[in-house]
Chain A
Amino acid sequence: MAGDYKYKPTNGFTRWLDSRLPIWRMVDEQVLNFPTPKNLNYWYTFGGILTLMLGVQIITGIVLAMHYTPHEKLAFDSVERIMRDVNYGWMMRYLHSNGASMFFIAVYIHMFRGLYYGSYKAPREVLWILGVIIYLLMMATAFLGYTLPWGQMSFWGATVITNFFSAIPFVGEAITQWLWGSFAVDNSTLQRFFSLHYLLPFVIAGVVILHIWALHVPGNNNPLGIDVRGPQDTVAFHPYYTVKDGFAIAVFLLLFFYFVFFNPNYLGHTDNYIPANPLVTPAHIVPEWYFLPFYAILRSVPDKLMGVILMFGSIFVLFFLPWLDTSRVRSAAFRPIYRQAFWIFVVVCLGLGWVGAQTTDYKIFDLGPKTDVVEQIVEKAKADNVTGQALEAVRTQAEEQNRRAFDATDLGRILTILYFAFFLIAIPLIGVVETPKALPRSISEAVLAHGGSSQPARPQGAHA
């Protein structure tokens, strides 16, 4: 399907170049005239948005590195110098810090879209796996970058996250010291984090190229989840999707620019404007919002090693998704049970994010007094010869002070179980028990059957 179109050089120069370096052939066949299913909806514009955001992050990052000093005594002030003295420095920094959040918003939508339309299924398993690798690299890069301003959250975030590795039996401490280059997070850590933070985006860019390559071999999936049958099902990427992606990018930029210019610190944490201090931990440390669901999974397990394993497992399970799914139908539009499971999963992820932002003892429901504890106190009072109204007062006070509650940790545990159940139980099982709806024979047939303006796979409201 991706090979129908063939580039023909039109003049002497392009013929000469084509036989030496067929770069224009590649651009022409793989970008401009790449046959793309004509039924892609707006959820498919996030690939383009992500490409743009990677570019924004790399360019603003290169600029910031021109002015930033990776040293524990100078880093905080050098960031403030960027904010105060460097021409447009405030803009570069706010673009970069808010750009990270925007990048993650886009990547989450992109991933949920792949999950909904079954874009990870054969023949696109490698495409999906490369995507998960990009996501892991993004998380590493974001974490490394967050340490660079060397504020309180930078320092303590780095301390907490590097301590994940201390959970590894026997070699944990050696590994953390190796990561730090010291006995704690300090200047050596900051300098290596800066070096790696500069390096990883280019690794991401490399894997993105592989990701697009792996996309262009089978071609795009689409909201119907059925294969492209021929040229009647596709349009050229340019101008049809460059313009559509362009529109989506402009709308996305409005949101991005709102944060950059009018609410630039909203997605950050105030404590990161306090210079790093190894003597004082902030009262309530939370990761950046895009890590909150994983933070909730970590905290929901009482065992240190298991918590870390589960947290990493929640991402690694994505690698196996193509083989966990037993259904032969891709798109959730034709899978009534899976569609419901998908939306429950979305709510579970949002719920985990909410839990991650709360203190662990945040009370959600009160479940009455802890009767055994209260009885113990009352018995003790009786033994001390407290009687009558005084004893009742003791009981009342004990009941007020010793209460069972359904707190954030409890909710986190339930949601963690549901998270893994979705991948390990729901997805394999639903594929077996579910009866999918009848698939249309081709994209063009489905399009014509619905007057070219709506179709079952196109969610209401998503159409222009």
Chain B
Amino acid sequence: MAHAHDDADVTRRDFIYVAASGMTAAGAVATAIPFIDQMNPARDTLALATTEVDLASVTPGQSITVMWRKKPVFVRRRTPEEIKAAQDVPVDALPDPQADSARVQSGKEEWLVVLANCTHLGCVPDKGNKGEFGGWLCPCHGSHYDTSGRIRKGPAPLNLAVPEFRFISDTKIVIGEAPAPAATTTEGA
């Protein structure tokens, strides 16, 4: 049964086996792509409408929670003292250094809009308990946020995220759209 092969023949055999194995592996990897990608958000989910929020009824110091893209968002009308407290903190000393001016729209410093999921493990911080820094306290693992939604103490690594939003009038905002006058559109637009 066994034949003697010359070297060239052996090389060609090896090549065809390597090619066959290689194509099997490549085919398997390529096949995996659609099976993984199908779990990403579908087109209709990505196209979810933006959320409009009416601010007229929010009093200074009050915070309301609205839903945007299936997640809660805090919209807080800050008092002058809260704004001052947020602006006066030395940025360098923060765990996630960011100035208050980078988190609100200029001229509208009164309004703070942040995603309401704690950056630690996703719980929603307690509105009733403002924590040690006048913002929010996350009940799950004790992260304290200040009046700009920045992490000050506790296990959370990052500040509460600020979504894109745009004032369409003095008392109405749209969350999920880039602020005017920037004309760029987002995928949610």
Contacts and interface: CB of A to CB of B under 8 A. Distances in A.
Verify whether A and B have any Cβ pair under 8 Å.
Answer: yes
Contacts of B40: 87
Given A81-B42, A81-B44, A88 B20 contact: no
Contacts of A88: 34-35, 37-38
A331 B37 CA distance: 48
B50 to A, nearest CB: 18
Contacts of B37: 87-88
B182 interface: no
B33 to A, nearest CB: 8
Given A243-B20, A246-B24, A92 B34 contact: yes
A85 B44 contact: yes
B43 interface: yes
Nearest to B23: A250
A327 to B, nearest CB: 34
A66 B39 CA distance: 8
A85 B24 contact: no
B35 A59 contact: yes
Nearest to B1: A232
A85 B43 CA distance: 5
Nearest to A62: B35
Interface string A62-90: 01001100000000000001001111110
A63 B32 CA distance: 12
A87 B46 CA distance: 11
Contacts of B38: 63, 66-67, 86-89, 92
A91 interface: yes
Contacts of A91: 34
Interface residues of B, number: 12
Interface in A81-137: 81, 84-89, 91-92
A63 B44 contact: no
A243 B34 CA distance: 26
A57 to B, nearest CB: 14
Interface in B12-58: 20, 24, 34-35, 37-40, 42-45
A interface: dominant SS: helix
A63 B35 contact: yes
A350 to B, nearest CB: 34
Contacts of A66: 38-39
B36 to A, nearest CB: 9
A89 B42 contact: yes
Contacts of B44: 81, 84-85
B13 to A, nearest CB: 12
Contact of B42 (A63, A85, A243, A246): A85
Contacts of A89: 38, 42
A91 to B, nearest CB: 6
Interface in A243-267: 243, 246
Nearest to A87: B37
B135 to A, nearest CB: 38
Contacts of B45: 85
B21 to A, nearest CB: 10
Contacts of A63: 35, 38
Interface in A17-71: 59, 63, 66-67
A420 B37 CA distance: 50
> Residue among A67, A85, A91, A92 with the most chain B CB within 10 A?
A85
A315 B38 CA distance: 39
Interface in B166-182: none
A87 B42 contact: yes
Contacts of A67: 38, 42
Nearest to A84: B43
Interface in B96-125: none
B15 to A, nearest CB: 15
Contact of A87 (B20, B24, B34): B34
Interface string B118-137: 00000000000000000000
A67 B42 CA distance: 10
B12 to A, nearest CB: 16
A86 B42 contact: yes
B40 to A, nearest CB: 5
Contacts of B35: 59, 63, 88, 92
Contacts of A86: 38, 42-43
Contacts of B34: 87-88, 91-92
Interface in B53-111: none
B14 to A, nearest CB: 13
Contacts of B39: 66
A265 B124 CA distance: 47
- A-B pairs, top 3 by smallest CB distance, nearest first, are A88-B34, A85-B42, A85-B43
18 contacts: A66-B38, A66-B39, A67-B38, A81-B44, A84-B43, A85-B43, A85-B45, A86-B42, A87-B38, A87-B40, A87-B42, A88-B37, A88-B38, A89-B38, A89-B42, A92-B38, A243-B20, A246-B24
Given A84-B44, A88-B34, A92-B38, 18 more contacts: A59-B35, A63-B35, A63-B38, A66-B39, A81-B42, A84-B43, A85-B42, A85-B44, A85-B45, A87-B38, A87-B40, A88-B37, A88-B38, A91-B34, A92-B34, A92-B35, A243-B20, A246-B20
